[in-house]
Amino acid sequence: MFSIEDIQNAHAKVKSGADFPAYIQDLKKLGVIRYETFVSDGHTVYLGENEFRASSPAKYDEMKIADNSDAEQFKSDLKSHQQGNTDYKKFCSDCAKSGIEKWIVDLEKMTCTYYDKSGNEILVETIPG
């Protein structure tokens, strides 16, 4: 199975949202089947086969997530991030301001789903690759 160190090594290659598809392929090779990232502090829970779990530590100080989601602003911020215009921390800050609590990446379905604090799906994207 994979370790957080394995995942950190794969993540070290990511400089912007434009690198995301290659990162996903690296995670699949490691055996990750799904992961859930929490915007509040950037920690992620990675899941593998047979209920294997590994959790990363917080990546930054806790951010307040807006109570009300702003889907249009989020989509604009996401597009900018995917074009390489923002780094990861700025993207997370933008998510928090837009009310995005977390995202779940399903490496079997190749989707990334963003959720607000109430658990509502704000956006489901298909991951290229």
Residue 16 has pLDDT above 80, yes or no: no
Is the four-CA dihedral 70, 119, 30, 9 of positive or negative sign? positive
Residue 117 has pLDDT above 80, yes or no: yes
What's the mean pLDDT in 105-116?
Answer: 96
Position 73 scores a pLDDT of 98
Residue 102 has pLDDT above 80, yes or no: yes
Position 46 scores a pLDDT of 98
Position 20 scores a pLDDT of 80
Measured CA to CA, the distance from residue 61 to residue 74 in angstroms comes to: 21
4-55+62-126 has CATH 3.30.70.20 classification? no
Domain ranges within the chain, ordered by starting residue: 4-55+62-126
Position 11 scores a pLDDT of 87
What's the mean pLDDT in 85-99?
Answer: 94
Share of the chain above pLDDT 70, in %: 98
Name the token pair of 72. Answer: 């249009």
Position 18 scores a pLDDT of 74
What's the mean pLDDT in 91-107?
Answer: 97
pLDDT digits (tens, 9 = 90+) for 37-88: 999 999 999 999 999 999 999 999 999 999 999 999 999 999 998 888 988 8
Residue 17 has pLDDT above 80, yes or no: no
Name the token pair of 128. Answer: 């290229």
